Amino acid sequence: MSDLAQLSQERTQLFQDVYDGKIPKRVPMVNLLTHEFCIEYAGLDLTEAQWQLAKVFDEVGDKACRDFPSDILPLFGIRFPSVYRLLGARNFVMSSTGFIQHPEVVGMDVEDYDAMIASPYDCIVERVLPRLYTELARDPVHKAAAMAKAYKAYNDEFATVGAVYGKLAQKYGYANFPLFAGMCQAPFDLLTDQLRSFKGILADIRRIPEKVEAAVEALTPLMIKMATTSPCGKYLAKFIPLHMGPYMRTEDFEKLYWPTLKRTVEGIREKGSPSFLYVEGHMMRYLDYLYELPENTILWFEYGDPKVIKEKLGKKHIITGLYPLVSLKTDTKQQCVDRAKELIDIMAPGGKYFFMLDKTPLTLDNINPENLQAVADYVINHTYY
């Protein structure tokens, strides 16, 4: 067996052990870098590069993989300007600096609740998408053409980055282990983000809570299906970023957000996969709810008290995150490494832990790259059990 194949196997075993509830040889290191970050790191123009991924992504990905140690492929991106431009997107728009931004849009009017409750997929196709994407509001021929072009672009772009991912995974001996093998949203977040909007849903909770409840119930089978059309298995976790919890009153969270999120995670587990939740924002008041989720749910925390999280959730679930990205910008190299050591000393005992930042760096100026390199080196070389 080649050295790289051996390395890949060892790294794969680290993650399998964590997911199986066994103590791994050492703490696995997960770096996760967005395409935008990697493009900036490679010194390329963000606008141009995103329109020329077939030409530049090999170089972009390779530089990031070469310089940022990780046990798993560290690249991540799902938004491509070609798809959004072909559809006339109002919800994802490239700024003058090249970042794809998400203006607050309302894809679903309050009058659409009954249609959403009766058939969410029909409502999305007939009413929501034409509001979000101007080309889908045109006559049938233009609409069909726009959809065909965008679908081709979507497949081409994912194929381009996918081919590079595969090549780099082999070149750098990464774990044969996907961090995310599919995704969906919490039904309440789907109803909020691009459908009713942040402002809209907060008004709906007050005025028509029974319709909000019925809508999220109706959306739940859609979310389970979305996560599980891709292959399922005990090492094929489905990513669910959580958004609205921190902004809700606990009683609203308990009635309108939590039940369908829990059912979504359980539905995904019934198909054979764990869920990988990004617990974004301040969610410490919901730890008891998170405990209820199926065993070995992966919980990536942005904020929180590591000791409390480990104590309350760490025996049942797999915990990651909590290392502040901002530290990589503001602290010295040694301070960054010391902070990593301190966090690992709390989180690693007993296993069910891998190292990850609290959030992904979106732009190059989010961090001092040398600090991230130092922290990654520390995790990989100094965290043997």
Partner 1 sequence: MITTKYYQTWAEYLAAHPEISFKEEKVMAPVMQKYEDAFFDFIMYLCI
Distance CA 213, CA 208 (A): 9
3-state secondary structure 193-204: HHHHCHHHHHHH
67 close to 373: Cβ distance less than 8 angstroms: yes
What is the nearest approach in angstroms of partner 1 to the Cβ of residue 315?
32
* For partner 1, the closer CB: 14 or 83: 83
Provide CB contacts within 8 A for 21, sequence distance 6+.
296, 351, 352
What is the nearest approach in angstroms of partner 1 to the Cβ of residue 81?
14
* For partner 1, the closer CB: 40 or 112: 112
* For partner 1, the closer CB: 173 or 245: 245
What is the nearest approach in angstroms of partner 1 to the Cβ of residue 173?
30
* For partner 1, the closer CB: 171 or 225: 225
What b/e sequence results for 124-139 when a residue is b if at least 16 CB atoms lie within 10 Å of its CB, and e otherwise?
beebbbebbbebbeee
Distance CA 42, CA 120 (A): 42
What is the nearest approach in angstroms of partner 1 to the Cβ of residue 147?
9
* For partner 1, the closer CB: 121 or 198: 121
Query: Directed axis angle between helix 140-171 and helix 3-19, to 10°?
Result: 110
What is the nearest approach in angstroms of partner 1 to the Cβ of residue 336?
33
* For partner 1, the closer CB: 158 or 291: 158
**Local structure of 234: helix, strand or coil:** coil
**Tokens 């790289």 -> residue:** 4
What is the nearest approach in angstroms of partner 1 to the Cβ of residue 51?
19
What is the nearest approach in angstroms of partner 1 to the Cβ of residue 271?
13
* For partner 1, the closer CB: 127 or 339: 127
* For partner 1, the closer CB: 225 or 282: 225
Q: Which residues bind partner 1 (CB under 8 A)?
A: 78, 87, 107, 118-122, 124-125, 128-129, 132-133, 151, 154, 183-185, 190, 193-195, 221-222, 225-226, 229-230
> Residue 161 corresponds to which tokens in the numbers above?
């980055």
Distance CA 137, CA 143 (A): 7
Nearest CA to 323 out of 278, 361, 355, 280 is that of 355
What is the nearest approach in angstroms of partner 1 to the Cβ of residue 270?
14
177 close to 213: Cβ distance less than 8 angstroms: no
Query: Directed axis angle between helix 209-228 and helix 198-207, to 10°?
Result: 130
Nearest CA to 239 out of 205, 264, 212 is that of 264
